[in-house]
């Protein structure tokens, strides 16, 4: 068995990448369009530090993990056709992001007027929202609590 499969802290989703693609750390382009994915684990972005392009179009993703904010290489994120309503404020920390496709997503946060101004306006808005949060407040529900909602 691969050493990643022995660690209970690494979700099966990430184990699959490490078993099938041993050099996953250097993976730059990942196309997951139309795979009926409903969840992106928080450890996903840390396990793919070299990722530049992520295509998640036409899945069932309702939220992104706050941990996306620690990614330093992502340039393009395609979310078109997912039921996502809110972007995590932490996404504002992904300063490398240049392309963000939100077409056919019922986004309510940030507001439509911000979204219509493009990715740089979205990132500024998210950074501003994050700066206004009291210390210790997180925007993501605790792991394993699907009923917790952000306000």
pLDDT recorded at residue 138: 57
Q: What is the pLDDT of residues 82-103, one digit of tens each?
A: 999 999 999 999 999 999 999 9
Q: Is 64 part of any domain?
A: yes
**Cα–Cα distance measured from residue 145 to residue 74, given in angstroms and rounded to the nearest whole number:** 27
Tell me, what CATH number does 120's domain have? 3.80.10.10
Q: How far apart are CA 47 and CA 26, in angstroms?
A: 10
37 class by beta-carbon count within 10 Å (0-12 exposed, 13-18 middle, 19+ buried): middle
Q: Domain range spanning residue 89? A: 29-132
User: pLDDT digit string (tens) for 28-78?
Assistant: 999 999 999 999 998 889 889 999 999 999 999 999 999 999 999 999 999
Write down the pTM of the prediction: 0.76
In-domain check, residue 122: yes
pLDDT, tens digit (0-9, with 9 covering 90-100), for 111-150: 999 999 999 999 999 999 999 987 765 555 444 444 443 4
pLDDT at 97: 98
pLDDT tens digits for range 1-30: 344 444 454 455 554 444 455 567 788 999
Q: How many domains does the chain have?
A: 1
- Please enumerate, as own/partner, the contacts of 73-76 that have beta carbons within 8 Å and a separation of 24 or more: 73/49, 74/45, 75/99, 76/52, 76/100
Task: Identify whether 141 is part of a domain.
Answer: no
Instruction: Supply the pLDDT for residue 14.
Output: 52
DSSP state of 89: G
């Amino acid at each position: 068995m691969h050493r990643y499969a022995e660690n209970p802290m690494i979700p099966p989703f990430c184990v699959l990448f490490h078993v099938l693609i041993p050099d996953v750390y250097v993976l730059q382009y990942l196309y997951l369009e139309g795979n009926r994915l409903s969840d992106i684990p928080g450890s996903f972005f840390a396990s793919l530090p070299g990722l530049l392009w992520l295509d998640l179009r036409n899945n069932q993703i309702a939220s992104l993990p706050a941990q996306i904010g620690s990614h330093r290489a992502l340039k393009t994120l395609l979310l078109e056709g997912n039921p996502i309503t809110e972007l995590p404020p932490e996404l504002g920390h992904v300063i490398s992001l240049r392309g963000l496709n939100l077409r056919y997503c019922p986004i309510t946060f940030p507001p439509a007027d911000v979204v219509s101004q493009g990715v740089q306006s979205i990132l500024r808005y998210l950074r501003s929202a994050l700066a206004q949060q009291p210390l210790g407040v997180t925007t993501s529900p605790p792991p394993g609590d699907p009923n917790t909602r952000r306000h």
